[in-house]
Structure 1
Amino acid sequence: MGTGGACGPRRALGRGAGPVLLAAALVTGCGEPHTPNGTSAARQSTPPGSGAASSPAATPPEDLCARIVAHWSREVLDDGTYGDYQSMGLSNGQYDILRNVVDAARITKAREGRKAAERLIDRETRTGCEAWYRDGGPGEGPWT
């Protein structure tokens, strides 16, 4: 008789079962059980403030500033040319820090070598960014 495939009622059930099961899952809400307030029961099992499900602490803005300005300062020191501050993701204030740092790093690199210039970049970007944020940091636009 046939070639070995499903036949008769089993074949019909196989084709029709997918949409029926999908509809049943949507209607019954398969997935995580929820509490009356709508939150996931699995999420409620971790007490608030326990740290198990909390997000990492935010990085202070002066740290982010120092990282990005130091990165681009090294790029400019290697490349020798300044790019557009917006293409670097910098504000005008951060770009001012970068220009001052790179100018000093170029002199240090010529006198003392690359390693000394990199130490200067790390130190001066940290100092510049801390001062910038101490004085208020960026304003409303990318040019501040």
Structure 2
Amino acid sequence: MGSGPAPRGATAARGRTALLAAGLTATTLTATLLAGCAGPTRAPRTAPAPRTTPPQALCAALVTHWAGVVLGAGEGEDATGLDYQSMGLSGDQNEILRAVLETARAVRRTEGTATARESAARDAEARCAARHRSGTPTGGPWQ
């Protein structure tokens, strides 16, 4: 093997191959960019606006749920083992729950659990609506 220059044809072939590879890379890159830019334009998807629950409906749902849990337990049993804050209730909602349960327990003794649950739901709805009649109470964070 000599140390002389490479044959003229080999150098030219390597140069053409490198030029061809660079051209293909540039063409591919350009096509990719243009395809991304020139594609069909669509309006961005927007999520629907979140639904909000009115405070009186939230109050009624919470009180009705916990009244059902307590009524489902036997007489005198601690159905949940939770205090009102652990149940997610405010102090006023807890007072509503206690009043609803007092009435519902009387109904359960005379008419059964199913009727007591229906009574509790109606009573919770009425009491929560009355509590929120003039807007959201502002007696403090736990009121």
| Gap regions ≥5 residues in structure 1 | 1-31, 34-40
Q: Is the 8 A contact 2:71 2:113 kept in 1?
A: no
| Gap regions ≥5 residues in structure 2 | 1-35
The reply on whether 1:75 has 2:75 as its aligned counterpart is no
* Number of aligned positions between the proteins: 99
Relative contact order (C-alpha < 8 Å, sep 6+): which is higher?
2
Is the partner of 1:134 in helix, strand or coil? coil
Q: Sort the Cα spacing of 1:64 and 1:58 in 2 relative to 1 into closer, same or farther, 3 A.
A: same
Q: Is the 8 A contact 1:73 1:121 kept in 2?
A: yes
Give the distance between the partners of 1:60 and 1:136, measured in 2 at CA: 10
Q: Is the 8 A contact 1:74 1:118 kept in 2?
A: yes
Give the distance between the partners of 2:136 and 2:84, measured in 1 at CA: 16
Deviation digits for residues 105-128 of structure 1 (CA, Å, limit 9, x no counterpart):
001001011111011011001001
Q: Alignment identity in percent? A: 37
Q: Alpha-carbon deviation of 1:46?
A: 5.6
Instruction: Give TM-score, length-normalised by structure 2.
Output: 0.60
Cα root mean square deviation, aligned: 2.6
Q: Is the 8 A contact 1:91 1:138 kept in 2?
A: no
Give the distance between the partners of 1:73 and 1:64, measured in 2 at CA: 14
Which residue of structure 2 aligns with residue 64 of structure 1? 58
Q: Sort the Cα spacing of 1:138 and 1:112 in 2 relative to 1 into closer, same or farther, 3 A.
A: same
Give the distance between the partners of 1:105 and 1:66, measured in 2 at CA: 15
Q: Sort the Cα spacing of 1:138 and 1:91 in 2 relative to 1 into closer, same or farther, 3 A.
A: farther
Give the distance between the partners of 1:65 and 1:123, measured in 2 at CA: 12
